[in-house]
Each structure stands twice: as C-alpha cells, then as structure tokens.
Structure 1
Amino acid sequence: MKIPAQPKVILRSCRDYDPERIRTIIREGLEELGLRPFGRTLVKPNLVAAGPLFPFAYTRPEFGEGVLRALRDVGGSSMTELAAGERCGITVPTRVAFRESGWDAMLKKIDVKRYCFEEEQQVEIPISHPNRLRDYLFTPEPVARADFFVNCPKFKAHPWTTVTFSLKAYIGIQDDRHRLIDHDHKLNEKIADLQHIVQPSFIAIDAITAGEGRMLTPTPFPLGLIIMGNSQVAFDAVCCSIIGVDPMSVDHIRLASEHGFGTTDLSKIAITGDVTLEEAQKRAAGFKVGLIRVEKYFEGTNITAYAGPPPEAEAGEYCWGGCPGAIEEAIEILRVFDKETDKKMPRLHVVFGKYDGDIDAKPGEKVIFIGDCVDWKGKINGNLIEMKSLYKERNTYDPHTVKSEDIFVKLATAKNKLRGDVVRLEGCPVSVAEQVLALVSIAEKNGLKNPYYDRDNMMSFGRAYLGWKARVTLNKLQRKRYQQNGAFASRGQAAPELGP
C-alpha cells in the first residue's frame, strides 16, 4: 500500500468501554477515511501483558470487539478473512495474553480467528533502504500475507522509547528469537526498520483509559478518547502533541518519517472529530512519560545502579532499549505482585555498559554485572574484579540461525547464574523475564514471591505453554518449517510502497 499523501487523524470522545458505542465510532471513522476492509484483514492489538498484574497494559477486548464488528460492518463480503493476531511479551505464550485479557472469549463470541504469532511460520522479508540495521527481517506469515492491516495499540508511555503508540507496537510482529535481535541501544532504529514489513490502512488506538509512566504496569489515566488515522507517523505525531511531546524528539517517529512513512508536521495533517486538538491536550494535562535513567530510577531503594555507555562502535551515552530499562520493568512487576518487594530486597548493586567509576559495595552485598556490553575493572571489597565486554558486533547475529531460550530453562538456571557475591548475567539484552527471576532468586530468602510460581499463574501458564508447544509440534509433523528462509513471495497488499 502507498503511504497517504494527505494524512488524517480523527479525535473522538468516548468515556466508556461500550462495544456498541466504539463500533459506531470506528465505523464512522472508516467511512470518513474512505476505507473498506478487503481480502485478508488482520487486526493487531497490543497485548504485551494481561491479567490481574497488568490491568492497564493492553488494548481492552471491548475496544477490540467494537473495531472488529465495525470492520465486518463496512467490509462485509470484501474480506476473505477477518483475524486478530499478536505476539505478547517474550517467554510468555501469547495464548496467556489472549485468555487473560478477555480477547479469547470476545473473539469466540463474534467468531473471529486468532493468530498467536509465535505459533505461525516465520517468513523472511528483504529490506533495502539506506541505513538499515540488516538486510532482511522475519515476521509471522499472517502479517506478511495481510491485505488490510489494522493496528489497534494502547495509548501508553514507555520507559525505553518515551511513548508506545502505533509505530512502537510493531515490536509485536516478531517472535522472541527475532524480537531480541537489535533490541538494545538501536531499538528505535529497529522499530523504524520494522515499518518496511507492513503498513496499516487503518489505526485505532485505545485511549479511553491511557497508561502513563510505565509500559507493563502503567498508571491508569482517564483520557476518554478514540483516535483513528490512516498514516502511522502522522498518527503518532498527533498523539505526541496531545501529551506535549515533540514527535521529532522520539527517535523511532523521527526515523520512520525520514524513511518515508509520513509527516510529523501538524500543519500537513488533517485533524478532525468531535474533540479538538486543544481539548485533547487539556484532557491529557499532567500525563507522565516513562523515560528515566536507571541510576535515578533506583534512588532511595536497596538497589544502587551504575550505567555507562553502550559499545563505542555504536555511539550513544545510554542503552535506552536494553538491559537498564528491562530491570525497571522487572522490579515494577514484582512490586505489583508483592507489595513488600522493596523491603524484602537486600542491598544490591547492578552495573550496565562501559561504566567508569567506583562501585560502593560493602561485604556481603551482591554485585551483578548485567548484559554483554558491561565493561569494568576495579576493586570490590579489596578484590580486583575485571569484567570484559562480551558484546558481539551486530553483523555477527544471523536471523537465519538465532535461537531463543525456553522459559523453563531460564527458571532452572536462574539460581546457578547468581552464585557468589560478584556475578554476571549475559545477554543482549537480558530480558525482563530473566531479570525478574534474578531479583527473585536474590530476595527469596527474605520471602519475596515469585510470580512464575504463583499457583493461579502456573496453571494458566502451563495450559498455554502446552498448547503452544503442541501447535508447533503439529506444524513440524505437517512438514511446515517454523522458519522459512528466503524472500517471501506471497506478500499481501499491506506491504508498503514507498516513493511517488
């Protein structure tokens, strides 16, 4: 599809999660934009995490129901398939997120197909634009085949990228093994590159109750809006303007604009609806974004953080897309699960990047060097410690051969990795899940609870895990490779067409 030359963003007031009200608003939005769903129509919500621990992290099912019913109203027989698909946060089966969010029940009620992207074949999409991180990306087959792609993100802040609106939600169109590649200080570049896989004909963001501050555990913010549009960059630019953020200061938005995916210039974007931009800005007054360095984040707690820059070969003063942000999300998850997390956490020191300074650890206080790029030499309690960088150049990672580590392997090895007062966690990045397990292992002697061992969570997780593995096994028996190498030749009409 071509990027609209005249982008439009529609602001509509909606205070409640009434599926029929949402359905009407979405249908009117589609009609105003002159859009009619056709062919393989795929809706991607943001289901990064769901359930009691994450009540404001995901696109609500009532919102999804309204969108899907409206698409069916307008598209009718022009659609050969109407489906919803997503890959939730890594290590957790997406089946969990669909079930815990209420999306499973909703999809069954209205008879819409579900895709858990990590259960589908991963296909190769070549990319050739200047300054790309690599020459090809992998994505689930349903994404590559989509004709009419609909992005339904959640209006949220993000601790690594400032915001997560439409563009950032594309991290969910990759499975674990491919998502973690370049999910480091080049995360914004990765997000921009992912835009070359598919483009939405229609965007509708759940901004009825927005999420401020965090990504997995945001604070609810009653914004009372449904925002719709036909161009991702323009859409995100308007969303930024609503909360008082310069879109050009958000690197993935700026980069996507430079790649040709739309304008951030509000004077070139038609903004319509029953809420003016000024009124929307008043509603959003005080909305907090989540960009905060790890040293500042842990001030006043039992954890002291030290952070240096990522590898000099790829200059930058801080790794916004990797390990430091992951530990912030990890501790937030534990705080939600166990209200006494901070009291139960022993004195702990965590080190990231090429840190040049002292580490003020007392005898008996654990020091964890986190990530492949950590690089430090000095004395801890009188002992000379040297941690050399294990960082691998980006071109040494081959998406054709990269593997992901099973969550049960991580559970089994978490304690062994933390033996001793000075330890290292390897990875680029070290994921949120692995850092949750590390923090629990350190503080479990003080009674810190492990969310992975919670009885209700384990039962839900176990069922979903077995279903996921059964589906993958069935695909193998049917001789359908999990990953199909070589340029995918059957892309749908949602594949982007850049240029005049």
Structure 2
Amino acid sequence: MAKPTVIIRHCPDYDVSRIQTLAREGLETLDLRPHGRTLLKPNVVASGEQFPHAHTRAEFVEGVLRALRDRARPDLDELAVGERCGITIPTRYAYKGAGYYEMIKRVPGTKLYHFEEETQVEVPFYHKDRLRDSTFTPEPVAKADFFVNCPKFKAHPWTTVTFSLKSYIGIQDDRHRLIDHDHKLNEKVADLQYIIQPQFIAIDGIIAGEGRMLTPLPFDLKLMIMGDNQVAFDAVCCHIIGIDPLSVEHIRLAYERGFGPVELDEIQILGDVTLDDAKKRAHGFEKGLIRVEDYFEGTNIHAYSGPYPGGSKDDYCWGGCPGAMEEAIEILRQFDKKTDEKMPPIHIVFGAYEGEIPAKLGEKVIFIGDCTTYKGNIAGNTVDIKSQYVDRSTKDPRTASDEDIFAKMIKMEHKMFKARHDEILRISGCPVSVAEQVLLLVKLGKLD
C-alpha cells in the first residue's frame, strides 16, 4: 500500500498563476483527477480589514480551482466552493470581506455555497467512542464525490493548531457546530472525520497566522503544502512548527482511529522545500493553547477557571467559553488599540471555581457559561452560583437551534441594561460564543 504523501512547495506570494501551477503539479504527483461533484472547502472563519490573516486567501482558492479544472475528468458535473464562517456572522458577509464573490467570477462555472443556507443532511455514526449517534452536515458536503480541503496554516488558542482536520468545524451550520463545542471539541473534530475525507488538501501557508485563530499575527512562511491524507498532512505541519503531532488531541484521536499515520517514516514527503528547511522558515512560530488566567495576566481583566462538569481539579474546557473570551478581547483590540486602557477592573469566572475572587467593592464579577459554579464571599457579600449545565446526552441534533447576531445583540443589550447596577452577573450558554463575549466586553468597557 502506498504511503500518504505530503508535498512542500515554495510559494513566495499570492500570484494566482503560480498557485495554479503548484496545485496542478500536486494533483499530477498524487495522480488525482477531480470528477462528479467536486467541492472545495476553504477556511473563511473571519475576513475583512480587521481579519486579513484569518482566512484562506481568495487568490489561493482561485489558483487551486483553476488547477482542479485543468486536471478534471470529462465527467466533472460541478465545481463548487462551500464554507460556514465563524459562528453568528453570515457566511455571505465573510465571503464578501475575503473577496470571494469577485474571485468566483474569475473562475466561470464555479458555484459558491453558503453552508448555513443549504439543506442539512443527517449522517449516522457507527464507530466506537463516538459522542453521539449522528450529526448533520450541509447537503453539498454529503453529496461530494471529490472533496478538497483548503485550510489556512494557523495556530489556535483552543486546539494548539488549526490545519486540515480542525478545519472540518466549518462543515456544519451554527445549530450543529455548537453542540459539543466545549471540552469535547477535539473529540467532535475526530467524529467529523467520519462524514467525508478529502482526496486533495492544499493549505495556505504563504502568510501563515500565528498565536491566535480569528486575529492571528502574520507569519511569512512562503509555503504551499499539499497532500492526500489529513492525519499525515497535519503531522507534517506540526513537525514544521516544532511540535509533536500526538500532543495535539484531535490529531492523536484521528490517528488512533486509523485515519492516517503520524510517523514520518510512514509518510512520503516531496517538494522543492525539505522538511528541515520548512522548520527553519517556521522557527519562532507562536502556537496556541494558553489558559485564560495566563492570557489576561497583567490586564484589568482578572480571569479564573475551574474544571468542566465531571472533570478533575486541573481539567480545563479548552473548546468552550474561556477560549472564546481570549478571541473576543483580541477582536476588540483590533478595532481599538486602547481597549485595555478603557476596560475597568472586572473579574471573569469559568467552570467550577473554588478559589478566592479578590474583587473590590464596585468591581463587576461575571460568571460565564452554564457549568460555572462558585460559593464564597466576594467584596463582603455571600455569593452562590449554581450550575445550569445540561448533560450533552439530552441535546438532540434534530431539534438544535441557533440565534443570529442581531438576536444576540438585542439579548445582550437587554441583559446588560437590567444588570447595570449589579456587581454580580451570570451569562448563560454552553458555550457562550465569541460574538456574545465581544458584546459583553463592549458593554462592560463602554466601548460602543
């Protein structure tokens, strides 16, 4: 049996013709020919002037699309791009900010899907250790004959990295994406692999994103990496930035479930850039995975976290509310460089926290998330915050619902107005999304 292949190519800029050539050569090397319903999924979690490095660039997608047409079999029925951007914001808005509407016109005959606007298809799961017996995915994903994953090379504050495997969070609409998007996030990502596997992977590593996911810092990597197996692909990307792929939980889970190898001697690495040279280029790349207490150290936001339901003392909800708060503050910092100066001293609590909260009189204390609990004295007052957590077994994907940004804005505005004189505040949700926490911080810091 042939080894999975990862191809590392030098790509100095976003020249469409060069990207097209590299992608076509990659498809030829892997002996791949698009056919039937061919669907390309980029990462367009966020876009626009404030999020220039969060998404797969339009020029990159255009080059890959052109290469797919170059290599297509005569029975290519449809060439399409599809994605669900970050929770709450319409994908149409993200596509516009990323220049996808203009790009798609330059590749005639290519369709553009907005996954939350498509019919959602139930997909049953039969594998061992699954979180639930089925999930939902947009119909274009379920019907794809040739699937192409075009992620962005980025760090991630909740999962260390987001390469190929993690990008699958975008093959669900908000209703189903939010289910299990908590301390089980890595298991959720592993479960999503059973929906579909890509025939071709091409990651935008020309300008990579370090440190964060929505507001990453640009890192000039000048690489276009391609492959035909997601686990092998992500393993090589991990080695490039100097981390053990098995230390990344969703990669380890996919590996243990047989989706591909992580051992370098089981992977064929080709291209005009060696793995060692790629490592040199990535030297100093800032990874993710920082606890919320450490993230806000030295600022006016004092964060405290306890374990998630059923967790031991040191457990932490990497996929839920704490990470969303980290992304929320970075978004506000993008829009207003004086955000930290304007923010009053506040205390934010996650999970089952049992330590001291040294808030002074007049300082607000915010308990975020359904699972947050606390019993103790705060500024001379006895406080008892009880869990509102509902076990995941009671959540049915068939009846899942979501709210758009306008509904969330109205609800947060109403809640903050009612609690304007309160020093103790509870924000419910599992998880409480990045958008909701942005709105919360805006009201707390009077940043609007």
Alignment TM class, shorter chain as reference: over 0.9
Cα distance, 1:425 vs. partner?
0.5
Q: Deviations over 1:27-76 (max 9, x none)?
A: 00000001000000000000000000100000001100100000000005
Instruction: Supply the distance in 2 between the matched residues of 1:148 and 1:314 (Cα, whole angstroms).
Output: 43
Cα displacement string for residues 241-288 of structure 1 (whole angstroms, at most 9, x for unaligned residues): 000010000000000111111011111000000000000000000001
**CA distance, structure 1, for counterparts of residue 5 and residue 311 of structure 2:** 40
- Runs (4+) of structure 1 exceeding 4 A deviation are 313-316
1:336 aligned partner, one-letter code: Q
Within-5 A mapping of 1:50-449: 50-111=47-108, 112-312=110-310, 317-418=315-416, 419=419, 420-444=422-446, 448-449=447-448
Query: Unaligned regions of 5+ residues in structure 1, if any?
Result: 450-500
Q: SS at the partner of 1:408?
A: helix
Contact 1:185–1:316 under 8 Å retained in 2:
no
Q: Distance in 1 between matches of 2:58 and 2:404?
A: 29
Instruction: Give the whole-Å Cα distance in 2 for the aligned partners of 1:274 and 1:404.
Output: 46
Equivalent residues of 2:89, 2:404 under 8 A apart: no
Q: CA deviation at 1:392?
A: 1.1
Cα offset, 1:357, TM superposition: 0.7
- SS of aligned partner of 1:373: strand
Query: Percent identity of the aligned residues?
Result: 66
State the match for 1:481 in structure 2: none
- Residue 24 of structure 1: SS of its match in structure 2? helix
Shift of residue 417 of structure 1? Answer: 2.3
Query: 1:391, CA displacement in angstroms?
Result: 1.0
For residue 416 of structure 1, report the CA deviation from its aligned partner. Answer: 3.0
Q: Distance in 2 between matches of 1:77 and 1:343?
A: 60
Q: Aligned to 2:74, what secondary structure does the other structure show?
A: helix
Q: Which has the higher contact order (CA 8 A, sep 6+)?
A: 1
Which amino acid is the alignment partner of residue 211 of structure 1? Answer: G
What is the CA distance between 1:313 and its match in structure 2? 5.9
3-state SS in 2 of match to 1:320: coil
Is the 1:188–1:251 Cα contact (8 Å) retained in structure 2? yes
Distance 1:120 1:226 in 2: 30
Determine if contact 1:45/1:59 at 8 Å carries over to the other structure: yes
Does the C-alpha gap of structure 1 residues 40 and 315 become closer, same or farther in structure 2, counting only changes over 3 Å?
farther
Matched residue type, 1:275: V
CA separation in 2, counterparts of 1:24 and 1:415? Answer: 51
* Separation of aligned partners in 2, 1:403 and 1:76: 40
Task: Kindly state the Cα deviation for residue 104 of structure 1 after the two structures are TM-superposed.
Answer: 1.1
Query: Residues 313 and 157 of structure 1: is their aligned pair in 2 closer, same or farther, counting only changes over 3 Å?
Result: closer
Q: 1:368: Cα distance to partner? A: 0.3
Q: Shift in Å at residue 393 of structure 1?
A: 1.0
1:333-361 per-position Cα deviation (integer Å, ceiling 9, x unaligned): 00001111001111100000011111111
Cα displacement (A) at 1:131? 0.5
Task: Give the Cα separation in 1 of the matches to 2:155 and 2:107.
Answer: 31
SS at match of 1:415: helix
Contact kept, 8 Å, 2:165 with 2:234, in 1: the verdict is: yes
**Any residues of structure 2 matched to 1:458-477 within 5 Å, and which?**
none
Deviation at 1:312, TM superposition (A): 1.4
Cα displacement (A) at 1:77: 2.5
> Is the 8 Å Cα contact of residues 310 and 316 (structure 1) preserved in structure 2?
no
Q: CA RMSD in A?
A: 1.1
Q: Tell me the distance in 2 between the aligned counterparts of 1:168 and 1:443.
A: 33
Counterpart residue identity of residue 171, structure 1: I
Query: Size of the alignment, in residue pairs?
Result: 443
Take 2:190 and 2:205, find their aligned partners in 1: how far apart are those partners?
23
Partner SS, residue 98 of structure 1: helix
Q: Give 5+ residue unaligned stretches, structure 2.
A: none
Residues 105 and 201 (structure 1), Cα distance of their counterparts in 2 relative to 1, 3 Å cut: same
